[in-house]
Amino acid sequence: MIYTSPAIEAAIEALSSLPTIGRKSAQRMALHLLRQPPEHVEKLASALTTMRAKVQYCATCFNFSEEDICPICASPKRNHRVICVVEEPSDVFAIERSGDYSGVYHVLHGLMNPLEGVSAGDLKVKELIRRLDGEMDEIILALSPTIDGEVTAQYIARLLKPIGIRVTRIARGVPVGSELEFVDDATIARALQSRVTA
Ligand SMILES: [Zn+2]
C-alpha cells in the first residue's frame, strides 16, 4: 500500500532498512510515531543523531566509544596483559554483563568467511597484532563456535604462535552454532573460566 503522504512513505522506507524490521513493522512504527506528540518524536530523532555523532571506535580495542580510548582500555583496574578477542561490540556487552572478566578486549568487527570473500584484511586483525608487546600474558579467543568463528580463531592462533603469547579459546557450555551475544551470563562466565589452549 502506498500512502497519500510521501513523508510517511519515506519514514517507512527508512525504518524498514533496520535489521529484523520488515515493511509491516516499519509501517506500524511510523503510524505509532504519527500519533505521538511531536516532542517525543523529536527526542527519538535527536537521541539517534547524537549517538551517531558522538560514538566512534576506540583507537585501541575498536569497541564503540565516545572517547578516543574507551573506558575499559583507559581503566587502571583492568588487566591489560589479557586481551579477549570478540567478533562484535555486542559480545563485549555480553561478557561485561557476565561480570566475570577483568581483562581488556579487541573487537574484530566480523569473522573470516572465505566463501563470501571476507578475509583477515577486512577485520581488525593487524590492529590486534600491533597491540601486542612482550608484556602480554594471554589472548583469549571468544569467537562464536560457528564455521566462520572456527576459521578465524585458527587463523589468529596460527598468527600468534611465533610471537609466543599464550592463546586460549573459551570452552564448553556455548552451544554449537550459537552467537555469543545470545548466550546467558552464567554460561559465558563458565566458558571463560574453563578455557583451553588454542
Ligand atoms: Zn578500548
Average pLDDT on 146-170 reads 90
- Rounded to the nearest angstrom, the distance between the alpha carbon of 12 and the centre of ligand 1 is 35
- Rounded to the nearest angstrom, the distance between the alpha carbon of 1 and the centre of ligand 1 is 46
Contact indicator for 180, 174 with CB cutoff of 8 Å: yes
- Rounded to the nearest angstrom, the distance between the alpha carbon of 141 and the centre of ligand 1 is 17
User: Is residue 134 packed enough to be buried (19+ CB in 10 Å), middle (13-18) or exposed (0-12)?
Assistant: exposed
- Rounded to the nearest angstrom, the distance between the alpha carbon of 24 and the centre of ligand 1 is 38
Residue 95, classed as helix, strand or coil, is: helix
pLDDT given at position 178:
58
Contact indicator for 196, 169 with CB cutoff of 8 Å: yes
Residue 180 to residue 145: CA distance in whole angstroms = 8
Burial code (b: 16+ CB inside 10 Å, e: under 16) for 82-100 equals bbbbbbbbebbebbeebee
- Rounded to the nearest angstrom, the distance between the alpha carbon of 4 and the centre of ligand 1 is 47
DSSP 8-class letter at 120: G
The C-alpha angle 137, 138, 144, rounded to 5 degrees, equals: 170
User: Is residue 165 packed enough to be buried (19+ CB in 10 Å), middle (13-18) or exposed (0-12)?
Assistant: middle
- Rounded to the nearest angstrom, the distance between the alpha carbon of 129 and the centre of ligand 1 is 15
The CB-side HSE value for 100 (13 A sphere, CA atoms) comes to 15
- Rounded to the nearest angstrom, the distance between the alpha carbon of 77 and the centre of ligand 1 is 14
- Rounded to the nearest angstrom, the distance between the alpha carbon of 176 and the centre of ligand 1 is 28
Threshold 0.85, pTM exceeds: no
- Rounded to the nearest angstrom, the distance between the alpha carbon of 175 and the centre of ligand 1 is 28
Query: What are the pLDDT digits (tens) for 25-51?
Result: 999 999 999 999 999 999 999 999 999
- Rounded to the nearest angstrom, the distance between the alpha carbon of 155 and the centre of ligand 1 is 23
**What is the number of other CB atoms lying within 10 angstroms of the CB of residue 11?**
20
**What is the number of other CB atoms lying within 10 angstroms of the CB of residue 118?**
16
- Rounded to the nearest angstrom, the distance between the alpha carbon of 43 and the centre of ligand 1 is 29
- Rounded to the nearest angstrom, the distance between the alpha carbon of 56 and the centre of ligand 1 is 11
pLDDT given at position 99:
84
pLDDT given at position 173:
53
- Rounded to the nearest angstrom, the distance between the alpha carbon of 64 and the centre of ligand 1 is 8
Query: What are the pLDDT digits (tens) for 62-104?
Result: 999 999 999 999 999 999 999 999 999 999 998 998 888 999 9
